Amino acid sequence: MNTIILRSASGALYVLLFIGTVLSPYSILFQLFIGALTVLSAYELARMQSKSIPWAIVTAVVTLAAGTLILPPLLTGFLGAVLALIALLCFKSSFKIPRFMWMYSLVYMALGISSFYEVYATSQWLCFAMLVILWTNDTLAYAVGSLIGKTKITSISPKKSLEGYIGGLLFSLIASFLLNRNLDLGLTAIQSVILGAVISITADFGDLLISKLKRLYNFKDSGRLIPGHGGIMDRIDSLIFAMPFIYLFLHVLHL
């Protein structure tokens, strides 16, 4: 019971921090927040891969600064999406960890968070909606998979099931449609449903990607910062992969 209470409390605090900074009238709070996410994620990635923590933090922060302050937003999203897609090569059975893996993972992570900032810069309420859809996908995929999941689809994460993924996708479509309708996000009904699909699919890949990284380095969790949930990378894995694609999709819609 104590474990459940601790997990619920830490999860609620995590969600409130995200919502509070995204919807705050002071953009500096969000900027500091994503800076903290980047530093903590860099620490966890360096620790997992037995690399220099100070150098990892410097690399990640410089990449974040470039992605949010120097590069055009569209280029930031494009580079983030390209790195995310290339990272899927690690799912190959013949994959061997390259020497530059630690650097690659840091840049991939920082560009994903940079794209998170670009979505926020587009619209705070739009950014809030994207988070809700991401959390809906993660939570309902887990719930449906726990209840009726039988069809295992990958050894990378044996507890994941096809039923869970389908459940997460369906609820993401519904959440995206309802959020667009009630928050007036500026999307048509069809666009909102497509966006829900984009978020669900990319979020699932992001989750599997970090699971694969942890398996490569024999780690159960990326860290212990969030009691009952693991580390920061365990919680924002889907966000990092999904945000570049979300931003590019919104750009195509001229939002």
Q: What is the pLDDT of residues 64-115, one digit of tens each?
A: 999 999 999 999 999 999 999 999 999 988 888 898 999 999 999 999 999 9
**Mean of all residue pLDDT scores within the chain:** 91
Give the pLDDT of residue 4.
Answer: 64
Q: Where are the domains of the chain?
A: 2-252
φ, ψ for residue 153, nearest 5 deg = -120, -10
Angle at 196 between CA 39 and CA 134, to 5 degrees: 30
Mean pLDDT over 39-46 rounds to 95
Whether the per-residue pLDDT at 197 is higher than 90: the answer is yes
| Residue of 167, 170, 175, 164 lying closest to 128 (CA atoms) | 175
Q: What is the pLDDT of residues 115-155, one digit of tens each?
A: 999 999 999 999 999 999 999 999 999 899 889 988 888 87
Torsion of CA 222, 84, 122, 133, to 10 degrees: -60
